[in-house]
Amino acid sequence: MAKHRNKKPRKPILQVIACLITIGLLLCFSALNDRLYYNSTANAVEAPKTSIKITINGKQRRILAEPHKTIKAALDENGITLEPDSVISPTLESKVKEDTAITITAPETTVETSEEPIPFSTVKKETSTLPKGQEKTETEGQNGVMEATKLVIKTGDKIVHSNVFTAQVKTPPTDKVILVGTLDPTSQLGITTPTSEIQKWAHDYLLANGYTEDDFTAANHIINHESGWSPTATNPSSGAYGLGQALPGSKMSVAGADWQTNYQTQFKWFIQYCETGYGSIQNAYAHWVSVGNY
């Protein structure tokens, strides 16, 4: 009788083979993942940068920037911030190129002292020493000087802001003084007019206005004794003034505003005074002869 040999089961061997296959597949997938990762990493490497020149207020340096990016992006990546009122060339929106050269002019603050003219004023001053309407320069005007200290902000040669924080008068201006005449030309009559000429005028005036030679004789006697025919005669005791010694002298203003110096105005007042106070020039004369005044 033949003997039967016991056969070992094949199941464990199959399991080992399956395990090896699995391990091999895992290794393949791992290698594939590594390659994919390497490729993606290689693609993520930064693009090459170019070195460009940048000049800020005359000082030069170089920065790295990616071509085709904007100038603004290049400045931001290099930590360069523009101050307000800065001037940049080319513009911030321009693209970076290999030959790009950036120029920035940033504002600079300085303290400056300057002198400014202070215009003089013109002053008009009335004077009775000049005929009415006539003008004469008494003092020539001179500009003064104002010293000002300013805080000045410039971009290049252009001033973008200026503020005066101190100012003082270094030299005050000198006013120009112009004299303006107020004297009526007729008001000087009598000041330099000879007595004989004044008497002749009085004589002719009386006769031309209906008076007689006797009226002139009476008037001449009174005025000769009162003032000597001087329009500026003044009584040192009473203050009586003028040809007829009016008291006060301002009484004669009823005959004219130039009563102080115009012998014609004074004589006209004298006639009015004689007629108002005594009825006529000859009556005033009679009173004067009687008491020594009128």
**Cα–Cα distance, 96 to 113 (Å, whole number):** 43
Contact 186, 257 (CB under 8 A): no
**Cα–Cα distance, 245 to 250 (Å, whole number):** 11
**Cα–Cα distance, 105 to 59 (Å, whole number):** 10
Fold classified for 50-106: Ubiquitin-like (UB roll) (3.10.20)
Angle at Cα 182 formed by Cα 264 and Cα 249, nearest 5°?
Answer: 45
**142-195 confidence digits (pLDDT tens):** 999 999 998 888 888 888 888 888 889 999 999 999 999 887 655 555 456 888
- Per DSSP, the three-state class of 234 is strand
pLDDT, one tens digit for every residue, the chain (294 residues): 444 444 555 556 666 566 666 666 555 555 555 554 444 444 445 568 889 999 988 899 999 999 989 999 999 999 998 888 888 999 999 999 989 999 998 888 888 899 999 999 999 998 877 778 889 999 999 999 999 998 888 888 888 888 888 889 999 999 999 999 887 655 555 456 888 899 999 999 999 999 999 999 999 999 999 999 999 898 888 889 999 999 999 999 999 988 988 999 999 999 999 999 999 999 999 999 988 888
Strands (E), the chain: 50-56, 59-65, 87-89, 101-105, 108-118, 122-131, 135-139, 144-155, 158-171, 176-183
Q: Determine the angle formed by the axes of helices 213-226 and 263-278, rounding to 10 degrees.
A: 110
Residue 266's CB: how many other CB atoms inside 10 A? 32
The dihedrals phi and psi of 194, each to the nearest 5 degrees, come to: -60, 150
**Cα–Cα distance, 244 to 233 (Å, whole number):** 9
109-183 CATH: 2.20.230.10
**Cα–Cα distance, 235 to 225 (Å, whole number):** 12
**Cα–Cα distance, 210 to 42 (Å, whole number):** 136
Is beta strand 135-139 parallel, antiparallel or unpaired with respect to 101-105?
unpaired
Residue with tokens 């307000």: 84
Contact 221, 288 (CB under 8 A): yes
Chain Cα centroid distance, residue 104: 35
Eight-state DSSP code of residue 246: B
Tell me the domain boundaries of the chain. Answer: 50-106, 109-183, 185-291
Q: Is the full-model pTM beyond 0.85?
A: no
**80-110 confidence digits (pLDDT tens):** 988 888 889 999 999 999 899 999 988 888 8
Tokens of 116: 């400014």
Strands (E), 120-157: 122-131, 135-139, 144-155
**Cα–Cα distance, 183 to 78 (Å, whole number):** 84
The dihedrals phi and psi of 195, each to the nearest 5 degrees, come to: -60, -40
**Cα–Cα distance, 240 to 200 (Å, whole number):** 24
